[in-house]
Amino acid sequence: MIIAIKRGSPAEEVIEFIAFLEKQGVKVHRSDGEEQTVLGLVGDTTKIDADALRARHLVDKVIRVQEPYKMANRSFHPDDTRIDVSTDGGGVKSIGGGFLGIIAGPCSVESREQIIAVAQSVKKSGAGFLRGGAFKPRTSPYSFQGLGCEGVNLLMEAKKETGLPVVSELMTINQLEIFDGVDVIQIGARNMQNFSLLRELGHCCKPILLKRGYANTITELLMAAEYIMAGGNERIILCERGIRSFDDYTRNTLDLAAVPILKRHSHLPVIVDPSHSTGLSWMVPSMSKAAIAAGADGIIVEVHNNPEKALCDGEQSITPDVFSDLMDTIRKYAVIEGKTL
């Protein structure tokens, strides 16, 4: 961090300010130019609040050199993180560190028949994980809100039937007690900056699939991950799921460039959601391929056995047949990228 001091600042105030900075655990290198004094902070500056420094009357400019996140930062952890999830049959499914995680299933759990049928078909095609929302964050309070506890129980039945580990969205921390059998907790776009929820998840021992908020920057996503990691839970999977832009052809705009950026700056696995980012089922196969070609560690894709009758997100849900063809292509892409499915 570099701090430029305002010209004409009283010498004793500068000395006091340096002492204040050093108390925060950093070394301060002072350089007195002809025009201005500049302070170079060396050490861990992640806990220093740059905005609070800017508010001080003797500070002219503050420039952050280091990223504000530490635990999620690749420079503190050069190797890729791999998230291992144990399966009921005694196996392990991994995401990241050379492993592609393919998460497939309906937007919402709707009935026993639906979730079992979709789970069986995606398993047959080679998916590694089953997704299904039991608690749905819907824009309208009058839309289907998910089956709640019953939805979680049905997911457990589908897990037992297929052996697939399950991924489901948690909206408030008191739902955690019924998520005992859920293998990966999804935190949706709308809750990415629910800081009290993120803090609670820091004490939870399950992997967290953290989706990027649709109006959040890449740094904000990494800071959200940092919240969870700072509490002790380091098993986080980042997910690019599209952001809001001026274009309305697609539901959101898939920011595919976020994939190599996140992978460059963080060691955490990064997956892409081609369903919510486009909102259109016919685009899902091409965007899934693009995601893997861009270096993603997997995808989370909505699959429904009858998209036309889906209670949520039917327009973006692919059928089990389309998913099966997509898996055939993904297997080829995995070979090109040197990744294991």
Is 107 an interacting residue with respect to ligand PEP (CB under 6 A)?
A: yes
Strand partners, 300: 103
CA 329, CA 307: separation in Å to the nearest integer? 22
Smallest gap from Cβ 24 to ligand PEP, in A, equals 36
Is 263 an interacting residue with respect to ligand PEP (CB under 6 A)?
A: no
Provide φ and ψ at 210, rounded to 5°.
-100, 115
Smallest gap from Cβ 191 to ligand PEP, in A, equals 8
Which one, 263 or 304, has the nearer CB to ligand PEP? 304
The residue assigned the tokens 């909206």 is 171
Task: Select from ligand PEP, Mn ion, none the partner in contact with residue 241, using the beta carbon and a kind-dependent cut-off of 5 to 8 Å.
Answer: ligand PEP
CA 41, CA 169: separation in Å to the nearest integer? 41
Is 188 an interacting residue with respect to ligand PEP (CB under 6 A)?
A: yes
The span of 152-160, 184-192, 280-288, 314-322 binding ligand PEP (CB under 6 A) equals 184-192
**Separation in Å, CA 324 to CA 44, 125, 320:** 48, 5, 6
Is 304 an interacting residue with respect to ligand PEP (CB under 6 A)?
A: no
Is 299 an interacting residue with respect to ligand PEP (CB under 6 A)?
A: no
Is 146 an interacting residue with respect to ligand PEP (CB under 6 A)?
A: no
* CA nearest neighbour of 42 among 5, 2, 77: 2
Report residue 128 as tokens.
Answer: 């590694």
Provide φ and ψ at 233, rounded to 5°.
-95, 110
Is 189 an interacting residue with respect to ligand PEP (CB under 6 A)?
A: yes
> Max alpha carbon distance in the chain (Å)?
77
Q: Which residue's CB atom is positioned nearest to ligand PEP?
A: 188
Smallest gap from Cβ 167 to Mn ion, in A, equals 12
Site string for ligand PEP, 217-246 (x = CB under 6 A): ------------------------x-----
CA 79, CA 17: separation in Å to the nearest integer? 38
Which one, 268 or 303, has the nearer CB to Mn ion? 303
The alpha-helical segments, DSSP class H, found in the chain are 11-22, 50-54, 112-125, 149-162, 195-201, 218-230, 258-265, 274-278, 284-293, 320-337
Q: Which residues bind Mn ion (CB under 5 A)?
A: 107, 313
Task: Select from Mn ion, ligand PEP, none the partner in contact with residue 211, using the beta carbon and a kind-dependent cut-off of 5 to 8 Å.
Answer: ligand PEP
Which one, 62 or 122, has the nearer CB to ligand PEP? 122
Smallest gap from Cβ 133 to Mn ion, in A, equals 7
CA 148, CA 136: separation in Å to the nearest integer? 8
- Residues with Cβ within 8 Å of 341's Cβ and at least 6 positions away in sequence, in order, are 99, 100, 102, 126, 128, 330, 331, 334
- Name the E strands within 212-255: 236-240
Q: Which residue's CB atom is positioned nearest to Mn ion?
A: 107
Is 211 an interacting residue with respect to ligand PEP (CB under 6 A)?
A: yes
29: left (phi over 0), alpha (psi -120 to 50) or beta: beta
The span of 66-74, 116-124, 155-163, 185-193 binding ligand PEP (CB under 6 A) equals 185-193
Smallest gap from Cβ 158 to ligand PEP, in A, equals 16
Strand partners, 62: 3
Which one, 73 or 213, has the nearer CB to ligand PEP? 213
Provide φ and ψ at 277, rounded to 5°.
-75, -25
From 133, 207, 269, 285, residue interacting with ligand PEP (rule: CB under 6 A): 133
Residues that bind ligand PEP (CB under 6 A): 107, 133, 137, 188-190, 211, 241, 273, 276
